Amino acid sequence: MDIFAAVSISDNIAKAMSSTSLWTAIAKTIIIILLGFFLTKLKIFPQGTGKTLTKVVMNVALPCLAFTSFMVTFTTSGGVDALVNFIFGFVIYIIFIFLGRAIFLWIKDPTKRLVLSVLFAFGSTTFFAQPLISAIFGKQAYNDSNMLNVAYRVFLYSYAYLAVSGTKIGQTPETSFKATMKKIFLNPIIIATFAGLILWVLQAIPGSYEQNWWTLRTDWLAPVATGAEIKYVPFWRFDVSLPWIHQTAAVLGGLSSPLVWLAIGCTLGGVSFKEAALDKFAWIYSGLKVFLAPAFVLALLYGVEAIATACGYPALISVYTVESSVMMWMVPPATVAVAYCINFEKEKVMASDISLVSTFVAIPGIVFWVLILTVIAASGFFPA
Q: Please state, in angstroms and rounded to a whole number, the distance separating the CA atoms of residues 299 and 314.
A: 17
H/E segment holding residue 233: strand 232-234
DSSP per-residue string spanning 260-305: HHHHHHHHHHTS-HHHHTT-HHHHHHHHIIIIIHHHHHHHHHHHHH
Task: Please check the confidence at residue 5 and state whether its pLDDT lies above 60.
Answer: no
Cα angle value 289/278/269 (rounded, 5°): 75
The dihedral built from the CA positions of residue 131, 137, 138 and 144, taken in this order, carries a sign that is negative
Residue that wins the pLDDT comparison between 295 and 221: 295
Q: What is the mean pLDDT of residues 268-296?
A: 89
* Residue 71 Cα distances to 133, 195, 239, angstroms: 18, 11, 6
100 contacts 121 by C-beta, under 8 angstroms = yes
What is the pLDDT, as a whole number, of residue 22? 73
Given a cut of 70, is residue 80 above it in pLDDT?
A: yes
Count Cβ atoms within 10 A of the Cβ of residue 313 and give its class: 0-12 exposed, 13-18 middle, 19 or more buried.
Answer: exposed
Residue 2 scores a pLDDT above 50: no
Give the Cα separation of 133 and 26 in Å (integer): 11
What pLDDT sits at residue 312?
82
Q: Would the pLDDT of 18 be above 90?
A: no
Q: What is the pLDDT of residues 332-376, one digit of tens each?
A: 999 889 888 888 889 888 988 898 899 889 989 998 999 899 888
Residue 218 has pLDDT above 90, yes or no: no
* Fold of the 20-204+214-221+231-379 domain: Na+/H+ antiporter like fold (1.20.1530)
Whether 100 shows a pLDDT value over 80: the answer reads yes
pTM for the whole thing? 0.83
Residue 369 and residue 294 in contact, taking contact as beta carbons nearer than 8 Å: yes
On the question of pLDDT at 3 being above 70, the answer is no
Q: What angle do CA 140, 250, 209 make, to 5 degrees?
A: 60
Phi first, then psi, for residue 28 (nearest 5°) are: -60, -45
Report pLDDT for 4: 38
- Nearest-Å Rg of the Cα atoms of the chain is 22
Least confident of 6-10, 98-102, 308-312: 6-10
The Cα–Cα gap between 314 and 307 comes to 9
Confidence at residue 331, expressed as pLDDT on a 0 to 100 scale: 92
pLDDT band at 315 (very low <50, low <70, confident <90, very high): confident
- Quick one: pLDDT at residue 226? 62
pLDDT at 324: 94
pLDDT in tens, 184-212: 788 888 899 889 989 998 988 888 888 88
Tens of pLDDT, residues 238-280: 988 888 999 999 999 989 889 888 988 888 887 777 778 888 9
pLDDT for 119:
95
Sign of CA dihedral 310, 316, 320, 323: negative
Q: Does residue 50 have a pLDDT over 70?
A: yes
Are 132 and 29 contacting, i.e. CB atoms less than 8 angstroms apart? yes
Amino acid identity of 232?
Y
Distance CA 172, CA 105 (A): 29
CA-nearest of 192, 182, 196, 176 to 154 is 182
